[in-house]
Amino acid sequence: MNSRERFLAACACAPLERPPVWIMRQAGRYLPEYRELKAQHGFLKMVRTPELAAEVSLQPTRRFALDATILFSDILVIPEALGQGYTFRDEGGIAMEYRLDSRARIEALAAAAAVPERLAYVGGALALLKRELAGRRALLGFGGSPWTLATYMVEGGSSENFAQVKGLFYADRPAFELLLGKLTAALIAYFKMQVAAGADAIQIFDSWGGAVAGPDYEAASLRWIREVIAAMPENFPIIIYGKGTGPHLVDQAFTGARVLSVDASNDLAVVRRNLPGNVAVQGNLDPVILNTTPEITRRETLRLLESLRGSPGHIFNLGHGILPQAQIACVEALVDAVTTWS
Protein backbone atom coordinates (compact mmCIF):
# COMPACT_ATOMS: atom_id res chain seq x y z
CA MET A 1 0.00 0.00 0.00
CA ASN A 2 1.49 3.35 -1.00
CA SER A 3 0.99 6.65 0.82
CA ARG A 4 -1.93 7.83 -1.30
CA GLU A 5 -3.77 4.54 -0.83
CA ARG A 6 -3.12 4.67 2.93
CA PHE A 7 -4.47 8.21 3.18
CA LEU A 8 -7.64 7.42 1.24
CA ALA A 9 -8.16 4.23 3.25
CA ALA A 10 -7.96 6.26 6.48
CA CYS A 11 -10.52 8.72 5.10
CA ALA A 12 -12.80 5.69 4.54
CA CYS A 13 -12.16 4.44 8.11
CA ALA A 14 -10.59 1.21 6.83
CA PRO A 15 -8.33 -0.71 9.25
CA LEU A 16 -4.63 0.09 8.76
CA GLU A 17 -1.39 -1.07 10.33
CA ARG A 18 -0.54 2.58 11.00
CA PRO A 19 -2.23 5.93 10.33
CA PRO A 20 -1.10 8.17 7.47
CA VAL A 21 0.68 11.35 8.51
CA TRP A 22 0.95 14.90 7.21
CA ILE A 23 1.37 18.25 8.97
CA MET A 24 -0.70 21.40 8.66
CA ARG A 25 1.52 24.18 7.23
CA GLN A 26 4.16 21.55 6.46
CA ALA A 27 5.38 23.80 3.62
CA GLY A 28 6.47 26.90 5.45
CA ARG A 29 8.69 29.01 7.61
CA TYR A 30 10.38 26.29 9.67
CA LEU A 31 12.16 25.05 6.50
CA PRO A 32 15.34 26.88 5.41
CA GLU A 33 14.66 26.09 1.74
CA TYR A 34 11.24 27.76 2.07
CA ARG A 35 12.75 30.87 3.67
CA GLU A 36 15.34 31.05 0.88
CA LEU A 37 12.69 30.83 -1.86
CA LYS A 38 10.48 33.38 -0.12
CA ALA A 39 13.39 35.80 0.17
CA GLN A 40 13.88 35.54 -3.60
CA HIS A 41 10.27 35.83 -4.71
CA GLY A 42 7.97 36.92 -1.87
CA PHE A 43 4.91 35.09 -0.58
CA LEU A 44 2.31 36.37 -3.05
CA LYS A 45 4.44 35.61 -6.10
CA MET A 46 5.00 32.06 -4.84
CA VAL A 47 1.24 31.59 -4.38
CA ARG A 48 0.42 32.98 -7.84
CA THR A 49 3.12 31.13 -9.82
CA PRO A 50 2.27 27.45 -10.40
CA GLU A 51 5.88 26.32 -10.65
CA LEU A 52 6.87 28.07 -7.42
CA ALA A 53 3.75 26.92 -5.55
CA ALA A 54 4.43 23.34 -6.64
CA GLU A 55 8.07 23.60 -5.57
CA VAL A 56 7.12 24.87 -2.11
CA SER A 57 4.45 22.17 -1.78
CA LEU A 58 7.04 19.47 -2.51
CA GLN A 59 9.77 20.75 -0.17
CA PRO A 60 8.55 18.94 2.97
CA THR A 61 7.84 15.69 1.13
CA ARG A 62 11.46 15.64 -0.07
CA ARG A 63 12.66 15.84 3.52
CA PHE A 64 10.11 13.67 5.32
CA ALA A 65 8.20 10.43 4.62
CA LEU A 66 4.83 12.20 4.70
CA ASP A 67 1.80 10.48 3.19
CA ALA A 68 0.21 13.63 1.72
CA THR A 69 1.29 16.78 -0.07
CA ILE A 70 -0.91 19.83 0.48
CA LEU A 71 -1.03 22.62 -2.07
CA PHE A 72 0.89 25.74 -1.09
CA SER A 73 -1.57 28.62 -1.31
CA ASP A 74 -3.63 30.90 0.94
CA ILE A 75 -7.30 30.95 1.92
CA LEU A 76 -7.48 34.65 0.94
CA VAL A 77 -7.14 33.96 -2.77
CA ILE A 78 -10.95 33.72 -2.74
CA PRO A 79 -11.59 37.29 -1.53
CA GLU A 80 -8.91 38.43 -3.99
CA ALA A 81 -10.67 36.64 -6.85
CA LEU A 82 -13.91 38.34 -5.85
CA GLY A 83 -12.23 41.75 -5.99
CA GLN A 84 -10.93 42.34 -2.46
CA GLY A 85 -7.15 41.98 -2.38
CA TYR A 86 -4.97 41.27 0.65
CA THR A 87 -1.50 42.04 1.93
CA PHE A 88 0.50 41.29 5.07
CA ARG A 89 0.95 43.90 7.79
CA ASP A 90 4.53 44.73 8.79
CA GLU A 91 3.63 44.07 12.43
CA GLY A 92 2.02 40.73 11.51
CA GLY A 93 -1.44 39.68 10.43
CA ILE A 94 -3.54 40.29 7.33
CA ALA A 95 -4.70 43.58 5.84
CA MET A 96 -7.45 43.59 3.22
CA GLU A 97 -7.48 46.38 0.61
CA TYR A 98 -10.70 47.70 2.12
CA ARG A 99 -13.47 46.64 4.51
CA LEU A 100 -16.81 45.27 3.41
CA ASP A 101 -18.58 48.02 5.33
CA SER A 102 -21.79 48.28 3.33
CA ARG A 103 -24.27 46.13 1.46
CA ALA A 104 -23.22 47.92 -1.74
CA ARG A 105 -19.67 46.64 -1.34
CA ILE A 106 -20.94 43.11 -0.78
CA GLU A 107 -23.11 43.38 -3.89
CA ALA A 108 -20.12 44.64 -5.90
CA LEU A 109 -18.09 41.47 -5.31
CA ALA A 110 -17.51 39.40 -8.43
CA ALA A 111 -19.70 36.42 -9.24
CA ALA A 112 -18.57 32.88 -8.50
CA ALA A 113 -18.23 32.25 -12.24
CA ALA A 114 -15.11 34.46 -12.22
CA VAL A 115 -13.27 32.28 -9.72
CA PRO A 116 -11.95 29.43 -11.93
CA GLU A 117 -10.36 31.82 -14.42
CA ARG A 118 -8.97 34.23 -11.83
CA LEU A 119 -7.53 31.36 -9.77
CA ALA A 120 -6.34 29.30 -12.72
CA TYR A 121 -2.84 29.41 -11.21
CA VAL A 122 -4.12 27.18 -8.37
CA GLY A 123 -5.33 24.59 -10.85
CA GLY A 124 -2.01 24.86 -12.64
CA ALA A 125 -0.06 24.17 -9.44
CA LEU A 126 -2.26 21.18 -8.60
CA ALA A 127 -1.80 19.73 -12.09
CA LEU A 128 1.98 20.05 -11.78
CA LEU A 129 1.87 18.36 -8.38
CA LYS A 130 -0.37 15.57 -9.64
CA ARG A 131 2.16 14.75 -12.35
CA GLU A 132 5.11 14.94 -9.98
CA LEU A 133 3.52 12.78 -7.29
CA ALA A 134 2.34 10.20 -9.85
CA GLY A 135 -0.15 8.66 -7.44
CA ARG A 136 2.47 7.90 -4.79
CA ARG A 137 1.25 10.45 -2.23
CA ALA A 138 -2.16 11.94 -1.63
CA LEU A 139 -2.62 15.46 -3.02
CA LEU A 140 -4.66 17.83 -0.87
CA GLY A 141 -6.36 21.05 -1.84
CA PHE A 142 -7.92 23.47 0.61
CA GLY A 143 -9.82 26.68 1.22
CA GLY A 144 -11.26 28.73 4.04
CA SER A 145 -14.81 28.29 5.28
CA PRO A 146 -17.32 30.97 4.24
CA TRP A 147 -17.46 32.29 7.82
CA THR A 148 -13.69 32.43 8.24
CA LEU A 149 -13.26 34.26 4.93
CA ALA A 150 -16.05 36.66 5.91
CA THR A 151 -14.23 37.59 9.12
CA TYR A 152 -11.27 38.95 7.16
CA MET A 153 -13.45 40.64 4.55
CA VAL A 154 -15.75 42.43 6.98
CA GLU A 155 -13.10 43.22 9.61
CA GLY A 156 -10.68 44.47 6.95
CA GLY A 157 -8.05 41.97 8.02
CA SER A 158 -7.02 40.07 11.13
CA SER A 159 -9.15 40.75 14.18
CA GLU A 160 -9.08 40.13 17.91
CA ASN A 161 -12.80 40.36 18.71
CA PHE A 162 -14.59 40.02 15.34
CA ALA A 163 -16.93 42.83 16.35
CA GLN A 164 -17.69 44.00 12.81
CA VAL A 165 -18.61 40.64 11.32
CA LYS A 166 -20.57 39.63 14.41
CA GLY A 167 -22.36 42.97 14.24
CA LEU A 168 -23.31 42.23 10.63
CA PHE A 169 -24.57 38.79 11.64
CA TYR A 170 -26.78 40.12 14.43
CA ALA A 171 -27.85 43.50 13.04
CA ASP A 172 -28.19 42.89 9.30
CA ARG A 173 -28.78 39.20 8.69
CA PRO A 174 -29.86 39.69 5.04
CA ALA A 175 -26.55 41.39 4.18
CA PHE A 176 -24.63 38.74 6.12
CA GLU A 177 -26.41 35.97 4.22
CA LEU A 178 -25.81 37.72 0.91
CA LEU A 179 -22.07 37.71 1.63
CA LEU A 180 -21.96 34.13 2.90
CA GLY A 181 -24.01 32.99 -0.08
CA LYS A 182 -21.53 34.62 -2.46
CA LEU A 183 -18.61 33.02 -0.63
CA THR A 184 -20.30 29.61 -0.62
CA ALA A 185 -20.87 29.77 -4.38
CA ALA A 186 -17.26 30.91 -4.93
CA LEU A 187 -15.88 28.05 -2.84
CA ILE A 188 -18.00 25.50 -4.67
CA ALA A 189 -16.58 26.70 -7.99
CA TYR A 190 -13.06 26.78 -6.51
CA PHE A 191 -13.21 23.30 -4.99
CA LYS A 192 -14.69 21.78 -8.14
CA MET A 193 -11.73 23.25 -10.02
CA GLN A 194 -9.35 21.68 -7.48
CA VAL A 195 -11.02 18.30 -7.87
CA ALA A 196 -10.78 18.55 -11.66
CA ALA A 197 -7.08 19.45 -11.36
CA GLY A 198 -6.35 16.27 -9.41
CA ALA A 199 -6.87 16.90 -5.69
CA ASP A 200 -7.54 13.65 -3.77
CA ALA A 201 -9.14 15.46 -0.82
CA ILE A 202 -9.93 19.01 0.25
CA GLN A 203 -9.60 20.54 3.70
CA ILE A 204 -11.94 23.36 4.73
CA PHE A 205 -10.32 25.62 7.31
CA ASP A 206 -12.95 27.01 9.68
CA SER A 207 -10.12 28.68 11.54
CA TRP A 208 -12.33 31.25 13.28
CA GLY A 209 -15.34 28.99 13.87
CA GLY A 210 -14.53 29.06 17.57
CA ALA A 211 -15.17 32.82 17.66
CA VAL A 212 -18.90 32.29 17.05
CA ALA A 213 -21.21 32.09 20.06
CA GLY A 214 -22.18 28.45 20.52
CA PRO A 215 -25.90 28.69 19.68
CA ASP A 216 -25.06 30.67 16.52
CA TYR A 217 -22.41 28.35 15.04
CA GLU A 218 -24.91 26.58 12.79
CA ALA A 219 -26.33 29.79 11.29
CA ALA A 220 -23.04 31.66 11.05
CA SER A 221 -20.76 28.91 9.80
CA LEU A 222 -21.86 25.29 9.64
CA ARG A 223 -24.89 25.68 7.35
CA TRP A 224 -22.63 27.24 4.71
CA ILE A 225 -20.02 24.48 5.05
CA ARG A 226 -22.84 21.98 4.65
CA GLU A 227 -23.85 23.65 1.36
CA VAL A 228 -20.30 23.49 0.04
CA ILE A 229 -19.94 19.79 0.87
CA ALA A 230 -23.33 18.95 -0.64
CA ALA A 231 -22.15 20.38 -3.98
CA MET A 232 -19.01 18.22 -4.12
CA PRO A 233 -18.80 14.88 -5.96
CA GLU A 234 -20.41 12.05 -4.01
CA ASN A 235 -18.06 10.42 -1.49
CA PHE A 236 -15.23 12.83 -2.28
CA PRO A 237 -13.13 13.22 0.90
CA ILE A 238 -13.74 16.57 2.56
CA ILE A 239 -11.91 17.39 5.80
CA ILE A 240 -13.23 20.06 8.18
CA TYR A 241 -10.73 21.76 10.47
CA GLY A 242 -12.40 24.02 13.01
CA LYS A 243 -10.22 25.72 15.59
CA GLY A 244 -12.05 26.02 18.88
CA THR A 245 -15.13 24.17 17.61
CA GLY A 246 -14.88 21.15 19.91
CA PRO A 247 -18.46 21.55 21.18
CA HIS A 248 -19.69 21.25 17.58
CA LEU A 249 -17.78 18.16 16.45
CA VAL A 250 -20.86 15.93 16.43
CA ASP A 251 -22.72 18.49 14.31
CA GLN A 252 -19.72 18.70 11.97
CA ALA A 253 -19.81 14.91 11.65
CA PHE A 254 -23.25 15.14 10.02
CA THR A 255 -22.29 17.66 7.32
CA GLY A 256 -21.18 15.01 4.86
CA ALA A 257 -17.50 15.56 5.68
CA ARG A 258 -15.47 12.35 5.67
CA VAL A 259 -12.83 13.59 8.15
CA LEU A 260 -12.83 15.99 11.11
CA SER A 261 -9.48 17.58 11.91
CA VAL A 262 -9.45 18.19 15.65
CA ASP A 263 -7.54 20.93 17.46
CA ALA A 264 -5.15 20.17 20.32
CA SER A 265 -7.56 21.27 23.06
CA ASN A 266 -9.52 18.03 22.61
CA ASP A 267 -8.69 14.51 23.78
CA LEU A 268 -8.64 12.79 20.38
CA ALA A 269 -9.38 9.32 21.78
CA VAL A 270 -12.53 10.66 23.47
CA VAL A 271 -13.54 12.46 20.25
CA ARG A 272 -13.03 9.22 18.29
CA ARG A 273 -15.33 7.29 20.66
CA ASN A 274 -18.05 9.96 20.49
CA LEU A 275 -18.21 10.31 16.71
CA PRO A 276 -19.92 8.04 14.17
CA GLY A 277 -17.66 5.20 13.09
CA ASN A 278 -17.83 6.24 9.42
CA VAL A 279 -16.25 9.67 10.07
CA ALA A 280 -12.46 9.72 10.40
CA VAL A 281 -10.49 11.98 12.73
CA GLN A 282 -7.30 13.91 12.03
CA GLY A 283 -4.85 15.30 14.52
CA ASN A 284 -4.01 16.42 17.03
CA LEU A 285 -0.52 16.81 18.52
CA ASP A 286 0.16 20.22 20.07
CA PRO A 287 2.39 22.09 17.56
CA VAL A 288 4.53 23.49 20.39
CA ILE A 289 5.86 19.97 21.00
CA LEU A 290 7.83 20.31 17.75
CA ASN A 291 9.70 23.24 19.32
CA THR A 292 11.14 21.02 22.09
CA THR A 293 13.37 17.99 21.53
CA PRO A 294 13.20 14.85 19.37
CA GLU A 295 12.90 12.73 22.51
CA ILE A 296 9.87 14.66 23.79
CA THR A 297 8.34 14.70 20.33
CA ARG A 298 8.68 10.94 19.94
CA ARG A 299 7.26 10.32 23.42
CA GLU A 300 4.20 12.50 22.85
CA THR A 301 3.64 11.15 19.32
CA LEU A 302 3.64 7.58 20.61
CA ARG A 303 1.33 8.54 23.46
CA LEU A 304 -1.20 9.91 20.98
CA LEU A 305 -0.85 6.88 18.69
CA GLU A 306 -1.38 4.48 21.58
CA SER A 307 -4.48 6.34 22.73
CA LEU A 308 -6.12 5.49 19.38
CA ARG A 309 -4.78 1.94 19.03
CA GLY A 310 -7.44 -0.26 17.46
CA SER A 311 -9.48 2.73 16.24
CA PRO A 312 -9.66 2.89 12.43
CA GLY A 313 -10.06 6.21 10.71
CA HIS A 314 -7.14 8.24 12.10
CA ILE A 315 -4.88 10.58 10.13
CA PHE A 316 -1.95 11.75 12.25
CA ASN A 317 -1.45 15.51 12.21
CA LEU A 318 -1.03 18.49 14.50
CA GLY A 319 -3.84 20.28 16.30
CA HIS A 320 -2.95 23.48 14.45
CA GLY A 321 -0.37 24.63 11.92
CA ILE A 322 3.33 23.98 12.54
CA LEU A 323 5.12 26.94 14.11
CA PRO A 324 8.12 28.76 12.58
CA GLN A 325 10.18 27.73 15.64
CA ALA A 326 9.67 24.01 14.97
CA GLN A 327 12.87 21.97 15.00
CA ILE A 328 13.51 19.89 11.89
CA ALA A 329 14.86 17.09 14.08
CA CYS A 330 11.54 17.07 15.93
CA VAL A 331 9.58 16.79 12.67
CA GLU A 332 11.83 13.89 11.70
CA ALA A 333 11.16 12.24 15.07
CA LEU A 334 7.39 12.67 14.67
CA VAL A 335 7.30 11.21 11.16
CA ASP A 336 9.61 8.35 12.11
CA ALA A 337 7.50 7.50 15.16
CA VAL A 338 4.32 7.33 13.09
CA THR A 339 5.75 5.49 10.09
CA THR A 340 7.45 2.80 12.22
CA TRP A 341 4.59 2.34 14.70
CA SER A 342 2.53 -0.82 14.54
Q: Which CATH class is domain 3-340?
A: alpha beta
What is the predicted pLDDT for the residue at 90? 73
Tell me the torsion sign for CA atoms 49, 50, 55, 60: positive
Task: Give which of 259, 313, 299, 304 is closest to 284, Cα–Cα.
Answer: 304
| Residue 269 amino acid letter | A
On whether the CB atoms of residues 88 and 158 are closer than 8 A, the answer is no
What is the predicted pLDDT for the residue at 183? 98
Residues of the chain with pLDDT below 70 are none
pTM: predicted TM-score of the whole model, two decimal places? 0.97
C-alpha atoms less than 13 angstroms from C-alpha of 139 in its C-beta half-sphere: 25
Q: What are phi and psi of 75, to 5 degrees?
A: -65, -20
On whether the CB atoms of residues 75 and 149 are closer than 8 A, the answer is yes
Angle of helix 173-197 relative to helix 146-155, nearest 10 degrees? Answer: 120
**d(C-alpha 251, C-alpha 203), whole Å:** 17
Domain ranges of the chain: 3-340
DSSP 195: H
Per residue in 258-306, pLDDT tens?
999 999 999 999 999 999 999 999 999 999 999 999 999 999 999 999 9
**d(C-alpha 16, C-alpha 342), whole Å:** 9
On whether the CB atoms of residues 168 and 105 are closer than 8 A, the answer is no
What is the predicted pLDDT for the residue at 311? 94
